[in-house]
Amino acid sequence: MGEHPVHALFGGTFDPIHNGHLHIARALRDELQLTWPGDQVRLLPTGQPPHRDTAQASPAERLAMCQLAVAGETGLAVDAREVFRTTPCYTVDTLTEIRQEIGNEAPLLFLIGGDSLQQLHRWRDWQGIVRLAHLVVAQRPGSDLQAGLYPDVADWVSKNQLPPSRPRLSHGKIYVLSAPPVTVSATDLRQRLALGEPTAGLLPDAVRRFIFDNGLYHGAGRN
Ligand SMILES: Nc1ncnc2c1ncn2[C@@H]1O[C@H](COP(=O)(O)OP(=O)(O)OP(=O)(O)O)[C@@H](O)[C@H]1O
Ligand SMILES: O=C(O)c1ccc[n+]([C@@H]2O[C@H](COP(=O)([O-])O)[C@@H](O)[C@H]2O)c1
C-alpha cells in the first residue's frame, strides 16, 4: 500500500464548469498532496444525471468546456466515460468500473459539494459507494455539514474521518476540504449568461470564450 497512484473523480453536470468547480478540484489536489506520478483529479461530466433535468449544453459542449478548463493544470484531467450515455449514470456503477481498472489497493476518491452530501442518502447504494471510494466534500455556502445530514450519513461521517495527507487506504473514509466556500453556481451562471450580465471571474477564460463563440446559454456573448 502507498505506492499506488491516487485516482480522484469529480462528477458533475458541469453545465457549465465554473471557477467554483476548479477551486475545489485544486483544493483536493493540494490538501491531499496528490503530487506523485500518476496521481490525478479527473472531472467526470455526467451524461444523464440521475436526479435532475437534462443539461442545457450538449454532452460534447460540456466535455469540451471541461477539457478547456483543465488544459495546462497540473494533476487535473477529464474522464469522458459517462458524458455520452443516454441512460442515467449512477456513481456506484462508475466507481465499480473504475475500481476494476485500478485494482483493489489503489486509493479512489470521489469529490462532491456539501449540497450533494446532504442528498447522499437518496443516491443509489451510497453505502456501496463508500465501500469503493473515499468521499471528499467541499463546503458550499448554505450547506450545513453538521446539522443538514441524513442521520445514517451523519453517523458514518462522524466515525470515518480521513487525515489531511495523501491517502494510503483504498476507500471508506471522508475528508472535508478546508478550502473556504465560494458562492459560484452553474444555475446562477446560466441566468447571468441568458441576461447578458457580467461573468468575469466566475468562469475560466477559455470556457467563457467557448460559451460566447458557440452562443451557449442564449444571449451569451455580451460580457
Ligand atoms: N461553488 C461550489 N462549491 C462547492 N461545491 C460545488 C460548487 N459548485 C458546484 N459544486 C459541487 O460540484 C458538483 C457538481 O456540480 P454541478 O455540475 O451540479 O454544478 P452546480 O454549480 O451545483 O450546478 P447547478 O447550479 O446547476 O446545480 C456537485 O457535487 C456540487 O455540489
Ligand atoms: O448515483 C446516484 O444516485 C447519484 C445521484 C445524484 C448525483 N450523482 C452524481 O453526483 C455528481 C454531481 O451531480 P450534480 O447533479 O450535482 O451535477 C454527478 O457525478 C452525478 O452523477 C449520483
Nine-digit cell string for 152:
445514517
Averaged pLDDT score across all residues of the chain: 93
Query: What's the rounded Cα separation, in Å, for the pair 114 and 177?
Result: 10
Domain boundaries, given as residue ranges, for the chain:
7-181
Cβ atoms of residues 27 and 60 within 8 Å: no
How sure is the predictor about 206, in pLDDT bands with cuts at 50, 70 and 90? Answer: very high
Cis status of the peptide bond prior to 180, with omega within 30 of 0: no
**CATH fit for domain 7-181, picks 2.60.40.10, 3.40.630.30, 3.30.365.10, 3.40.50.620:** 3.40.50.620
> Which residue has the least CA distance to atom 12 on ligand 1?
113
* CB of 85 closer than 6 angstroms to any ligand 2 atom: no
Question: What is the average per-residue pLDDT within 41-63?
Answer: 88
Give the bridge partners for 40, in sequence order.
7
What value of ipTM does the predicted structure carry?
0.98
Pocket test for ligand 1, best of 139, 185, 187, 216 (most atoms within 8 A of CB): 185
* CB of 24 closer than 6 angstroms to any ligand 1 atom: yes
* CB of 112 closer than 6 angstroms to any ligand 1 atom: yes
How sure is the predictor about 19, in pLDDT bands with cuts at 50, 70 and 90? Answer: very high
* CB of 192 closer than 6 angstroms to any ligand 1 atom: no
How sure is the predictor about 93, in pLDDT bands with cuts at 50, 70 and 90? Answer: very high
Pick from 87, 39, 35: which is nearest to 59 by CA?
Answer: 87
How sure is the predictor about 207, in pLDDT bands with cuts at 50, 70 and 90? Answer: very high
Pick from 107, 111, 99: which is nearest to 43 by CA?
Answer: 111
Inform me whether the pLDDT recorded for 217 exceeds 60: yes
Nine-digit cell string for 121:
442518502
